[in-house]
């Protein structure tokens, strides 16, 4: 499989999953509100904060050849737009940075231990792509990029799980992925990963309700990152659209679960495997492909 196509599949898959999951997110109010923001003026399907922050992460990584925390904080805040559907606390924090405050004074201001939302995990794919050949540097970069908005250990662990899953998908041997994740995690994350192992080993297919109940479908990293890993693995050898259909029916934080699971699925199968008519009308598709290209070439430097 062409490695560069896997990079395309990861980032473009992520954006497409986000745009396709967004209309199904949350309750009646969120779904109603998204109708006003779901397309661009030229009729493309719009992505949410997940993809915007992923693009920000990629651009900053490319510009600085690594994580420059202050520049990244600045980048995240200058891209903030209400219409992308940012998490409530993340929105407050980014607006405060825009007004000139230091992220170091904000990331534990609203919650003592920081946010445990899935906002760090949803934007982590470029870090995985950039550092795919150096796990030690990747772990450090994940911590540095996450802590700007998500200081809580659960949020950082969730980002590490998604990044690790993407890196494994870029390589040839994926059979041991769940075992590797189980070995590198503990507590509630480990418990959920053991559930994933059990489900993948049995032939039974849990329903959306069972998945939401056992793994979660919420905005918290602990209730969405393992879910995304499970769904990416369950649908890994199936059509991309089957994965999306399942996530759309999962309820809860559908756009972010679709974002994270699509990034993992795309890193395994590549962009050429994504057969969905909406791909032709995805906002900023060419720009995202170019970012994936730049990350691909930069990652080769560190081999």
Minimal distance in Å, beta carbon 67 to Mg ion?
Answer: 22
Going by C-beta distance under 8 Å and a sequence separation of 6 or more, which residues neighbour residue 3? Answer: 170, 296
Site residues (CB under 6 A) for ligand AR6? 48-50, 85-90, 111, 113, 115-119, 122, 152, 219, 253, 256
Query: Please, what is the Cα angle at 188 between 185 and 192, to 5 degrees?
Result: 85
Of residues 26 and 270, the one with the C-beta less far from Mg ion: 26
Q: Closest distance between ligand AR6 and the C-beta of residue 53, in Å?
A: 8
The whole-angstrom separation of Cα 265 and Cα 274 is 10
Binding part of the chain for Mg ion, among 30-38, 175-183, 236-244, 255-263 by CB under 5 A, reads 255-263
Q: How far is the CB of 215 from Mg ion (least distance, A)?
A: 17
255 binds Mg ion (CB under 5 A): yes
Q: Which two tokens stand for residue 203?
A: 């032939």
Nearer to ligand AR6, 153 or 180 (CB): 153
Total Cβ atoms within 10 A of residue 111: 14
DSSP assignment of 198-222: HHHHSS----HHHHHHHT--SSBGG
To the nearest whole angstrom, how small is the minimum distance from the Cβ of residue 20 to ligand AR6?
14
* Contact partner, 186, from Mg ion, ligand AR6, none, Cβ < 5-8 Å per class: none
Element (H, E) at 177: helix 177-183
- Residue 56, contacted partner among ligand AR6, Mg ion, none, CB below 5-8 A by kind: none
From the list 191-199, 223-231, 256-264, 290-298, the region that binds Mg ion by CB under 5 A is: 256-264
Q: Contacting Mg ion (CB under 5 A), which of 89, 256, 261, 269? A: 256
Nearest to 244 by CA among 219, 292, 278, 270: 278
In the complex, least distance from residue 219 CB atom to ligand AR6, rounded to whole angstroms: 4
CA 86 from chain centre, in angstroms, equals: 14
Distance CA 61, CA 142 (A): 12
Residues that bind Mg ion (CB under 5 A): 255-256
């Amino acid at each position: 499989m062409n490695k560069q196509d896997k990079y395309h599949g990861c980032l473009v898959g992520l954006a497409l999953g986000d745009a396709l999951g967004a209309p199904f997110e949350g309750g009646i109010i969120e779904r109603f509100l998204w109708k006003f923001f779901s397309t661009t003026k030229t009729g493309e399907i719009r992505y949410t904060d997940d993809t915007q922050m992923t693009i920000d992460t990629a651009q900053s990584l490319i510009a600085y050849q690594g994580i420059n925390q202050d520049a990244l904080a600045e980048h995240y805040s200058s891209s903030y737009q209400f219409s992308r559907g940012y998490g409530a606390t993340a929105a407050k924090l980014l607006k405060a940075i825009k007004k000139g405050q230091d992220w170091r004074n904000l990331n534990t201001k609203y919650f003592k231990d920081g946010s445990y939302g899935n906002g760090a995990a949803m934007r982590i794919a470029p870090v995985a792509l950039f550092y795919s050949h150096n796990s030690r540097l990747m772990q450090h970069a994940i911590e540095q990029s996450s802590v700007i908005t998500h200081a809580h250990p659960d949020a950082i662990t969730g980002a590490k799980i998604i990044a690790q899953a993407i890196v494994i998908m870029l390589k040839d041997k994926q059979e041991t992925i769940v075992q590797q994740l189980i070995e590198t995690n503990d507590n509630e994350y480990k418990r959920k990963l053991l559930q994933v192992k059990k489900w993948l080993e049995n032939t039974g297919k849990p329903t959306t309700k069972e998945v939401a109940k056992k793994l979660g479908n919420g905005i918290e990293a602990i209730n969405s990152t393992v879910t995304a890993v499970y769904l990416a693995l369950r649908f890994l050898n199936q059509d991309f659209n089957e994965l999306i259909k399942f996530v759309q029916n999962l309820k809860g934080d559908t756009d972010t679960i679709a974002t994270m699971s699509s990034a993992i699925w795309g890193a395994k199968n590549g962009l050429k495997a994504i057969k969905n008519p909406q791909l032709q009308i995805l906002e900023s598709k060419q720009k995202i492909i170019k970012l994936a290209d730049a990350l691909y070439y930069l990652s080769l430097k560190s081999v």
